Amino acid sequence: MTIVLKLGGSVVTEKDVPETVDEDRLASLAAAVAGVDESLVIVHGGGSFGHHHAAKYDVSVSEGTADPVAAREIHDAMIRLNQAVVGSLAAQNVPALPVQPLSMCARDGNGALTLEHSAIERQLSEGFVPVLHGDVIAHEGEGVSVLSGDELVVRLANQLAAERVGVCSSVPGVLDETGTVIDRIDDGDGLEHVLGESDATDVSGGMAGKVAALLELDVPASIFAPTAIEAFLGGETPGTTVGGGQAGP
C-alpha cells in the first residue's frame, strides 16, 4: 500500500513569522511517521518559507516570472524548509530522501502539469521515503510558476495509484458555519460560504483551493489536524473526507 501524506506549510512552520520552522511539531509528526510500515511519500507546503517570497515577486500557479533571481529565491527558501523537514524525519530514523519538483515537473502553455515520477517510484521500492515540497517549476511562456503542495499531492497520488491520502492541516478539517468539522465533501457545490480564506499569506488558494485540488483525486483524502496524524496513519479517516468518488446514497 502507498500513502501520500501532506504536511501543511502552516503545520511545519510558524506561518506568520518568516522562515521559522515549528521544530517541536515537526518532531512529533516525524515520530508518528517513523511508525509507518507502508510505502510513504511526504509532501510539505511552503508556510512561512515559500509564500512570502512568492508573494514578493507576484508569482502564483498561473502567473510566472522569467527572472532567475526570483526563481532561485523562492526555490532556495523551499529547499531550506525541505532540509529542515528531511532532517527532522531523519532524526526519527525515517529513511527520508529529498525530491525537488523543480527537477522533475513542468507546465505547458495551458498550465497542464507534467510530473515525472520514475525516481520516486524507485525510491519507494527501495524502502526510502521521498519528501517533496511546493516549489517553482518551469512553465511554458511564463518562466517559472508555483506548484502548490496540494496540486503535487493530487498528481503524485494519482500517478502512483496511492491507496490513501492524508492532509495534515492547522485545522481539524473543513469547518461549517458553526465551526463544526464537515465529515464528508463529495463536490464543491454550495461550499463556497464555508471555504474561507487561509489565515496568512498563501499563494496556493487556502482551504478552498485545497478542497478543489483534492476533489481531483482518484481516492478519498482525509484533512485532519496534527493531533490526528496517528489515527490517520493507523488506518482511520479523521477530520473531513474529500472526494475520491465515494459519494453517499
Site for a copy of itself, residues 215 to 244, rule: CB under 8 A: none
Stretch that binds a copy of itself, among 28-36, 102-110, 174-182, 227-235 (CB under 8 A): 102-110
Question: Interface residues for a copy of itself in 140-199 (CB under 8 A)?
Answer: 140-144
Taking the C-alpha atoms of residue 4 and residue 11, their distance in angstroms, rounded to an integer, is 16
The dihedral of CA 163, 128, 61, 14: what is its sign? positive
Cβ-proximal residues to 66 (8 Å cutoff; 6+ apart), any chain: 142, 143, 144
Least distance CB 192 / a copy of itself (angstroms): 34
Q: Which is nearer to a copy of itself, 96 or 217 (CB)?
A: 96
Least CB distance to a copy of itself at residue 148 (A): 17
Among the listed ranges 88-96, 167-175, 216-224, 239-247, the one in contact with a copy of itself (CB under 8 A) is 88-96
Rule CB under 8 A: is residue 44 a binding residue for a copy of itself? no
Please give the single-letter amino acid code of residue 1. Answer: M
10 Å Cβ neighbour count for 1? 10
Beta bridge mates, 166: 5, 222
The nearer residue to a copy of itself, 138 or 219, going by C-beta atoms, is 138
Contacts of residue 20, defined as CB under 8 A and 6 or more positions apart, other chains included, come to 13, 14, 48
Helix, strand, coil percent content, the chain, rounded in steps of 5: 35, 20, 40
Residue 99 as a binder of a copy of itself (CB under 8 A): the answer is yes
Task: Please choose, out of 32-40, 49-57, 99-107, 169-177, the segment that lies near a copy of itself by the rule CB under 8 A.
Answer: 99-107
| Contacts with a copy of itself, 48-77, as mask; x by CB under 8 A | ------------------x-xx-xx--x--
CA–CA distance, 178 with 194 (Å, rounded to integer): 9
Binding part of the chain for a copy of itself, among 6-14, 92-100, 159-167, 215-223 by CB under 8 A, reads: 92-100
Task: List the alpha helices (DSSP H) in the chain.
Answer: 9-12, 23-33, 47-56, 68-91, 101-104, 118-125, 149-159, 206-214, 229-233
List the interface residues with a copy of itself, window 108-137 (CB under 8 A): 114, 116, 118-119, 121-123, 125-128, 137
**C-alpha to C-alpha distance for 135 and 144, rounded to whole angstroms:** 10
Minimum distance between the CB of residue 41 and a copy of itself, rounded to whole angstroms?
Answer: 13
Among 60, 100, 158, 159, binds a copy of itself (CB under 8 A): 100
By CB under 8 A, name the binding residues for a copy of itself: 66, 68-69, 71-72, 75, 86, 90, 95-107, 114, 116, 118-119, 121-123, 125-128, 137-144
